[in-house]
Amino acid sequence: MHICFITAFMSKFFQSFADLPSSRGRALCLGNFDGLHLGHQKLLESCLQKARDKKLSSLVFSFDPHPRKFLSDPSKIRILTLLEEKRHLLGAMGFDEILLQRFDREFSKIEADEFVKILTRYLCAKVVLFGRDFRFGKGAKGSRECFEKVSGVEVVELEAVRDKASEVLSSERIRSLVLSGDVESANRLLGYPYFLSGEVIHGDKLGKQLGFPTANLQTFNECLPKPGVYFSSVCLKESSLLYPSVTNVGFRPSVSNQGELRIETHLLQFQDELVGQRLRLHFFKRLRPEKKLSGQSALAAQIKEDVVAAQQFWAQKFDLRDSERIYSRQLAPTLKQEILGFISKIS
C-alpha cells in the first residue's frame, strides 16, 4: 500500500557567496537551520513575506558544515540533518536561492564587519533576518549592531519561538528528544516527522527467514533515535513512493553479541528487493524498548506483535488531528496532503 510522493523544488543552490549572480535586491535570512524546526520555519516564512512585500528575491544563507563542527570538538554535537536532507527541507520552503556556504578555516577568519559587507555589497541584501541568538563573523562577535553604520538595510531580529510550556524551541532540545526516543515530541517541535536518510544494504536475511523481511539502512546521520521499536514510514527516493513500516533501532541482543548498531525496517505489505536503493525513514512513535528474547520462535512472535501494532497505529491512531500537529503548512504541504491521502486509504 503506497502513495505517490511528488515534489518540485525550484530553488537555485550555491556553495559560495562568490557564485551568486548580481541582484537588484534580496531579502536574506541567516542561520544554521539544523533540523529546520518550527522556529526556523517562522523565521524563513518572515523572510519570504518581506521579499514578497518589497518585491525582492529571497535568499537563505546557511553553512556547511555546521560551524560548531568546525570550530569545536565535532563529537560534541550530533547534527540533526545531513547536507542532502538540509537541501531537501530548505528546498521545500520556496526560496529563490539557497546558499549553503562552505565553512572552512578561511571563511571562519572573516571579521563581522567584513561579513556585513559581503551581505550588503556583494549579495545586495536590502532586508536581513536572523534569530536573536544568532551571531556571525570571527569569534561569533557579529550582531545587529554591526549593521548600524550601513544605510538602506532593514535588519530584523526575531525572538525565539516557545512552546505552550514557554520553553524555547531549539535544535539542541530536539536532539535530546530524539536521542531519548521521544520522537513524538521532537516531531511536534520540528513540524514534520524526524527522518534518517541512507542506502539499503545487504543484511543476514534473518527477518526474511522469520517471515518479516527488513530493509537494512546504512546512514551517516549522527542523531539516531534511542534503541527500540518505532512506528515509521519509508519514502523510496527512486520511485517517489511512501510506505508505512515498523523499525527496530538497536543491537539485536536476541541474535548477536557483537554490539553493532543496526537500523532495520519492515515495510508493511511490501515484498520487493530494496538493496541499493536510497530512502528516507520517518519516525512517528516509539512502541517499546529493545529486549532480548530466547530463540527465533519468540523473536518471530514479538515481531508479529509489533507489526500488528504498527498496522493498528496507521489504521486507527493516526487521525487527522495528529497529522495537523505533525505536518506544518510552511514546510511541505505536498507531503502533508499525500500523507493524509495515504491515511484515508488505510483507515
Q: Is residue 176 part of a domain?
A: no
Q: Give the per-residue pLDDT at 207.
A: 67
Above 90 in pLDDT, residue 317?
Answer: no
> Are 196 and 142 members of one domain?
no
Q: Give the per-residue pLDDT at 164.
A: 81
> Are 25 and 134 members of one domain?
yes
Q: Give the per-residue pLDDT at 241.
A: 65
Strands (E), 11-169: 12-14, 26-30, 57-64, 97-102, 125-131, 154-158
Q: Is residue 172 part of a domain?
A: no
> Are 200 and 58 members of one domain?
no
Above 60 in pLDDT, residue 325?
Answer: no
Q: Is residue 263 part of a domain?
A: yes
- Tell me the residue range of the domain where 129 lies: 9-158
Are 283 and 190 within 8 A, CB to CB? no
Q: How far apart are alpha carbons 33 and 327 in whole angstroms?
A: 18
> Are 142 and 53 members of one domain?
yes
> How many other C-beta atoms are found inside a 10 Å radius of the C-beta of residue 204?
12
Of 108, 127, 158, the residue that ends a domain is 158
Sign of CA dihedral 198, 199, 201, 206: positive
Residue 323 banded pLDDT, cuts 50, 70, 90: very low
Average pLDDT for 236-243: 70
> How many other C-beta atoms are found inside a 10 Å radius of the C-beta of residue 327?
21
> Are 193 and 143 members of one domain?
no
> Are 91 and 219 members of one domain?
no
> Are 144 and 266 members of one domain?
no
Domain total for the chain? 2
Cell numbers 538602506 label which residue? 152
Of 109, 125, 158, the residue that ends a domain is 158
> Are 132 and 205 members of one domain?
no
CATH of the domain at 207: 2.40.30.30
> Are 127 and 246 members of one domain?
no
Residue 40 banded pLDDT, cuts 50, 70, 90: very high
Q: Is residue 2 part of a domain?
A: no
Among 201, 195, 234, smallest CA distance to 217 is for 201
Sheet holding 57-64, edge to edge: 12-14, 97-102, 57-64, 26-30, 125-131, 154-158
> Are 116 and 243 members of one domain?
no
Above 90 in pLDDT, residue 120?
Answer: yes
Q: Is residue 258 part of a domain?
A: yes
Terminal alpha carbon distance of the chain: 12
The model's pLDDT over 159-183, given as tens digits with 9 standing for 90+, comes to: 988 888 788 899 999 999 999 999 9
State what percent of residues in the chain have pLDDT above 90. 59
CATH of the domain at 138: 3.40.50.620
Among 201, 306, 290, smallest CA distance to 254 is for 290
Above 80 in pLDDT, residue 302?
Answer: yes
Above 90 in pLDDT, residue 324?
Answer: no
> Are 314 and 250 members of one domain?
yes
The model's pLDDT over 273-283, given as tens digits with 9 standing for 90+, comes to: 899 999 999 99
The model's pLDDT over 53-112, given as tens digits with 9 standing for 90+, comes to: 999 999 999 999 999 887 777 777 899 999 999 998 898 889 999 999 999 999 999 999
Q: Give the per-residue pLDDT at 346.
A: 36
Residue 256 banded pLDDT, cuts 50, 70, 90: low
Q: Is residue 168 part of a domain?
A: no
Cell numbers 519514502 label which residue? 235
Top-confidence residue, 145 or 74 = 145
> Are 230 and 280 members of one domain?
yes
